[in-house]
Structure 1
Amino acid sequence: MSLVIFAVGNPSRGDDALGPLLMAELETQSLPGVTLVTDFQLQIEHALDLDGHDLALFIDAGTGTPAPFDFYEVSASAGMSITTHALTPSAVLQVHAQLRPVTPPAFVLCIRGDHFELGEGPGEAARTHLQAARAHLAECLALPDALAWRQWQTHDGAARPAPERV
């Protein structure tokens, strides 16, 4: 299984640093079959980073996200207006779908953020949310499979328990 992980955010804008902080931790690990991509925001060129991968994960911080995080599958959005900067994960998938016959399943791990002020670090609540997201991500990395990940989707800020492994 080949996995690409995108972490999006600005380390100088408070809770927006959550994605890059989580990615920095991943960069210290030896993760076979995993490609890591970090940027301030998703760009049209990131569609090409999906090439050759069986699964994709987008990590970002979000306002209005249920605490501590939301984890869900995302798909390409046909008819979506695509510009050359600041794309959503759905838009990146749409660009890839226009270029290639097969686009990998993709998921979003959106960590609750509340304060995005320039020059600030992540707040205490955001760090608590990051800790919960880190644990969920570890489960995902232990079983990088779209079928399993679909069972772990959240929409209420609480991760569903991982199914027993056979």
Structure 2
Amino acid sequence: MVKLLLFGYGNPGRGDDALGPELIGRIAQLHLAGVECQNDMQLQVEHVTDLAACDRVLFIDADMSCAEPCDFSEISAEKDGSYTSHAMSPTALLFAYRQVYGKDAPPAFLLRIRGYDFALGDPLSEQAAANLDAATKLVHELCMDVSLQLWRRCLVNNGDAAA
């Protein structure tokens, strides 16, 4: 069985920035076999150790520039400016994994959920909540069939697992 790591990140105290952790909370409640759920405020270099024990990883984050309801993409290691900061991009984390372990990280994907309001203390906006529902459905379907073929078909179909 493929061990899938779902890693949501974002600040729950900043409105729609909570989308990643919110989705992780929903999936975690399902107690799906072979699925590990984690979240944090941001990605850090220490998270390379979380990737070592999985066969696939899905990073989940809020994004104010992607299409509604969400954008699903496959990602790969890439050195960018974030590797020297306290918060890293998913691609920089994959690059750090390669540096630490001397091999490529497991296949990795990024789900960006469209958010709108990111002000400190704001609740989740209604629009973002609707996008979260659609993203949760997609992630649940991906967890039910972890084949790379389905995941890559979802890329072609803009995240529509039913297509």
TM-score (norm: length of structure 1): 0.90
More helix by share: 2
Unaligned runs of 5+ in 2: none
Partner residue of 2:115? 113
The two structures, once aligned, show a CA RMSD in angstroms of: 1.6
- Name the SS for the 2:36 alignment partner: strand
- Write the distance in 1 (CA, Å) between the matches of 2:71 and 2:55: 22
- Seen in structure 2, the aligned counterparts of structure 1 residues 137 and 161 have a Cα distance that, compared at 3 Å, is closer
Indicate the percent of aligned positions where both proteins have the same amino acid: 40
1:80 aligns with 2:72: no
Q: Which region of structure 1 is more displaced relative to structure 2, 141-150 or 120-129? A: 141-150
- Write the distance in 2 (CA, Å) between the matches of 1:159 and 1:52: 26
Paired residues of 1:55 and 1:146 also in contact (CA < 8 A)? no
Paired residues of 2:68 and 2:113 also in contact (CA < 8 A)? yes
1:102-152 CA-partner distances (Å, limit 9, x unpaired)? 410000111000110100111010011011101111110111122321110
Partner residue of 1:51? 52
Partner residue of 1:140? 142
- Write the distance in 2 (CA, Å) between the matches of 1:106 and 1:12: 27
Paired residues of 1:44 and 1:84 also in contact (CA < 8 A)? no
Q: Residue 93 of structure 1: CA displacement?
A: 0.4
- Name the SS for the 1:21 alignment partner: helix
1:91 aligns with 2:92: yes
- Name the SS for the 1:109 alignment partner: strand
